[in-house]
């Protein structure tokens, strides 16, 4: 783990969805700390609570009970406008289906985040262009989403997430709609941003290959964390496909090796 201090954490976090006739416990007392500069994967079967946990930690959803601490501050004690402002200035979001406005160009989709935060138009455009360059889309600024591949659209989403220089990026199944090649490219880019910019990532995924690119894997079942496993540098040279992460790389169950050259380029 990073050991650079906790940026977000939860204490006895509970989330209950009450439909009137049925109560569903999505989270059942989750304790979790994420340190600055970490790249964390949250895994588990469908319905285990991993997306609910991400939404509660990021302030997109309110827990039924328990605490979410953002840089030591109780999220529940922030007013709605304070939470909204904090998210806009300190968090980035990446979702499976991009959430790009089809009538806007790539640069317009990225700069919109800054314009809504009160950044001047000229400054917002310059920062959006720089963010697109960082994710490898220089020259495609005026393309609309329909003119881009799936991988390129997800890169626009990444640029939008990092344009405000966030302290933490939340990603919910960021490669779920991508083929293998584009998935690898997006994950390599996230690794590079984490390594070079010390950007914190929390990634919800069902894909063991995606999880193995992180430095820590949290396993959830039935609204609880059942395993929290750090991944070593040795493990990072392997892509486990459904392997047991608790072995920390000692067993290679059908793993596909990442080339040393690729690792060295990050």
Asked whether residue 254 is domain-assigned, the answer is yes
Sheet with strand 65-70: strands edge to edge: 23-35, 6-18, 65-70, 73-74
Using an 8 Å Cβ cutoff, are 198 and 168 in contact? no
The total of structural domains in the chain comes to: 1
Q: Would you say residue 222 lies in a domain?
A: yes
Residue 221 lies in a domain: yes
Kindly report the pTM of this predicted structure. 0.80
Q: Tell me if 1 is assigned to some domain.
A: no
Whole-number Å distance between alpha carbons of 226 and 265: 34
Q: Which residues span the domain enclosing 92? A: 6-264
How far does CA 260 lie from the centroid of its chain? 25
Question: Would residue 91 count as lying in a domain?
Answer: yes
- What string of pLDDT tens digits covers the 266 residues of the chain? 334 589 999 999 999 998 888 999 999 999 999 999 999 999 999 999 999 999 999 999 999 999 999 988 898 888 888 888 888 888 999 987 778 999 999 999 999 989 988 899 999 999 999 999 988 899 999 999 999 998 899 889 999 998 988 999 999 998 888 888 888 888 998 899 899 888 999 999 999 999 999 999 999 999 999 999 998 754 555 544 444 443 333 222 222 222 223 333 33
In a domain, 137, yes or no: yes
Tell me, what CATH number does 101's domain have?
A: 3.40.50.300
CA 127 – CA 164 distance, rounded (Å): 8
CA gyration radius, the chain = 18
Angle between helices 121-134 and 106-116 (to 10 degrees): 130
């Amino acid at each position: 783990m990073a050991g650079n201090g906790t940026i977000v954490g939860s204490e006895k976090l509970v989330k209950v969805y009450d439909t009137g006739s049925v109560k569903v416990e999505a989270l059942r007392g989750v304790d979790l700390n994420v340190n600055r500069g970490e790249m964390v994967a949250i895994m588990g079967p469908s319905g285990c609570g991993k997306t609910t946990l991400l939404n509660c930690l990021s302030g997109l959803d309110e827990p039924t009970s328990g605490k979410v601490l953002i840089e030591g501050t109780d999220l529940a004690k922030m007013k709605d406008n304070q939470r909204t402002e904090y998210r806009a200035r300190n968090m980035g979001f990446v979702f499976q289906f991009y959430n790009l406005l089809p009538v806007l160009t790539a640069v317009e989709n990225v700069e919109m985040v800054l314009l809504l935060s009160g950044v001047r138009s000229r400054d917002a455009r310059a920062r959006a262009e720089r963010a697109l360059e960082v994710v490898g889309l220089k020259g495609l600024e005026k393309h609309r989403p329909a003119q881009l591949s799936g991988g390129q659209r997800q890169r626009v989403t990444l640029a939008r997430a990092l344009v405000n220089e966030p302290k933490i990026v939340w990603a919910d199944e960021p490669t779920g709609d991508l083929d293998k090649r584009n998935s690898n490219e997006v994950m390599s880019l996230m690794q590079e941003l984490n390594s070079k910019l010390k950007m914190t990532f929390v990634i919800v995924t069902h894909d063991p290959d995606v999880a193995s690119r992180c430095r820590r894997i949290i396993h959830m079942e039935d609204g609880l964390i059942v395993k929290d496993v750090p991944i070593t540098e040795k493990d990072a040279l392997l892509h486990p496909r459904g392997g047991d992460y608790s072995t920390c790389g000692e067993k290679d169950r059908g793993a596909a090796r990442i080339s040393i050259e690729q690792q060295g380029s990050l």
